[in-house]
Structure 1
């Protein structure tokens, strides 16, 4: 009976997939900063008022509970995939996730050349270590992953041992805003879809900058809300309401725009700052996740995982709506530490 009820709820949510046909966003690169929604503070908009400890506990518990279900259905990579434009949704989604890593690295100019490749990398918000292991192999680098979830860190360590990478990849339970590393410890700082969880975006970038070595590079791939139009002072009420619902389900603090990230990075003295909107390249992702959740395996996994994971699954349609409205942007921001 529980599976039937859950299936019914997810079926109602998944109806919006049929409307998700048009192109989303426009991929582009911005060297300057358009109008910012939150100025340098980047406190963002949307999001329930939770304390930082409450957020951290909520994030850790969410991923403690949900990571096993995700891995069982989707594998070791816990992030969007990169798809060809006008993809019909039949792409190999695991390959699309790996492609997202490689396309992001190429966009940011991270070279595999032996003389300039990164040799020490931190994966901020590492999940179960999919990106960490991929980066270690790609660059023959030492990689450290950090996560708030002890379950994720344990599983990441186990998978790394199974894949014979324990000598080059390790994991710690740590807060991205207070990392246990020396200044300049890494020549490449990687953050794949963890920035949206950070309650203080300025402090987040400050900490990423602190652990980056001189001339090292930072790459953030994250969820943002759209930039404000010149005549706007804030997002519309219905947009704020939608973001609030997403925040409640995924333990997110207030959102910010890509321009906010650019403005903060420039104000901190980072160089070669640029951003891009890849919303159109991730179009098939959330509909595919919703379809997989509707499978018997998906429904059984959700029921076993518990209410927090189920609540997240029921909110997937909100993400689809956000992309469809042009409210949610899949953003990349990169910069070099001088």
Structure 2
């Protein structure tokens, strides 16, 4: 009888242990330092780069072709946001600030395909180091460690400001917008994409949705989420903004990314295994949060907001 129950006991023990590890190693937001530490760790273990490539953001899946390659979708996302935001109207040599540049994937595309002179900033020293390693000498890209809430640039320093999936890590969304708009020259272009919650005042979350939101905040160092409308209003009322702010919800185009980010590990198992057994544990550890993200975005609890405005 015991031999019959042993496999079930071991499986249950595994899931209990995994659940304990997942809860006790949560990456709660405490300060900007916890964001830096989390991204340092993600960069140094190279797991995300091996699985997802140079772009640690969601992809763009056209309505007519949802089956494009995950990495191609990430590159396509950059081009689609450039076109939608009007950033492509800027001439070659324009100065672009990439706020929350990661390991420089978007910065390199902006420089290579559009001829921009790109400055990427991130709060993670490890990301800056890796971005510099990945960037060919011929590209006009430079990377610096800097807090997005305290940009060390003069007013109007840039012709365009670009930011993808960085704002959710900012504990002060107004200051985040203030710093970007301050460094954008009059008439310059802002192109921004971020994770937002739906308007939780107009449509309060259920008990289950509150639990999901709590996990999404605590697992990936997010201090808070706000709605697309709320962040749009922050941009609209900024003293350096033209006031003409446009926003859209790109859930339809980006949602396939969540399942693809898991499937990528199945497609490229050696990308994980080549990093050692601990990498396998780390990759499995992220799956519950990815599944929760997928659920939240598909149900409309979370929304992928894109924004454009002029300085």
Q: Tell me whether the two structures share a fold, i.e. TM-score over 0.5.
A: yes
The answer to whether the 8 Å contact 1:48/1:254 transfers is: no
Paired residues, number:
286
Matched, 1:76 2:54: yes
**Which segment is superposed worse, 221-230 or 264-273?**
221-230
SS at match of 1:315: helix
How many angstroms does 1:157 deviate by? 0.4
| 5+ residue gaps, structure 1 | 14-46
Task: Give CA deviations for 1:237-269 in whole Å, capped at 9, x if unaligned.
Answer: 322221110111101111000001111111214
Change (3 A) 1:229 1:199: closer
Counterpart position of 2:300: 326
Does structure 2 retain, via aligned residues, the 8 Å contact 1:223–1:331?
yes
Partner residue, 1:197: 169
Correspondent of 1:297 among 252, 270, 273? 270
Q: 1: CA distance between counterparts of 2:105 and 2:230? A: 28
Question: What is the aligned partner in structure 2 of residue 274 from structure 1?
Answer: 246
* TM-score where L is the length of structure 1: 0.77
1:1-338 correspondence to structure 2 within 5 Å: 50-52=29-31, 56-67=32-43, 68-85=46-63, 87=65, 90-112=67-89, 114=91, 119-160=94-135, 163-165=136-138, 168-228=140-200, 230=202, 232=203, 234-269=204-239, 270-271=241-242, 272-294=244-266, 296-297=269-270, 299-300=272-273, 301=275, 303-305=277-279, 311-337=285-311
* Greater relative contact order (CA < 8 Å, ≥ 6 in sequence): 1
**Aligned-CA RMSD value:** 2.8
8 Å CA contact retained: 2:47, 2:272: no
Structure 2 gaps of 5+ residues are 1-9, 20-25
User: What is the CA–CA distance in structure 1 between the aligned matches of 2:62 and 2:291, rounded to whole Å?
Assistant: 22
Cα gap change, 1:59/1:307 in structure 2, threshold over 3 Å: closer, same or farther? farther
In 1: Cα distance, 2:281 partner to 2:145 partner: 24
- Structure with bigger helix share is 2
Quick check: which has more Rg, 1 or 2?
A: 2
Deviations 1:40-95 (A, max 9, x none): xxxxxxx998443xxx222222222223111112211111110022755x311111
TM-score by length of 2: 0.83
Partners of 1:237 and 1:298 in 2: CA distance: 38
Distance between the aligned counterparts of 1:145 and 1:293, measured in 2?
28
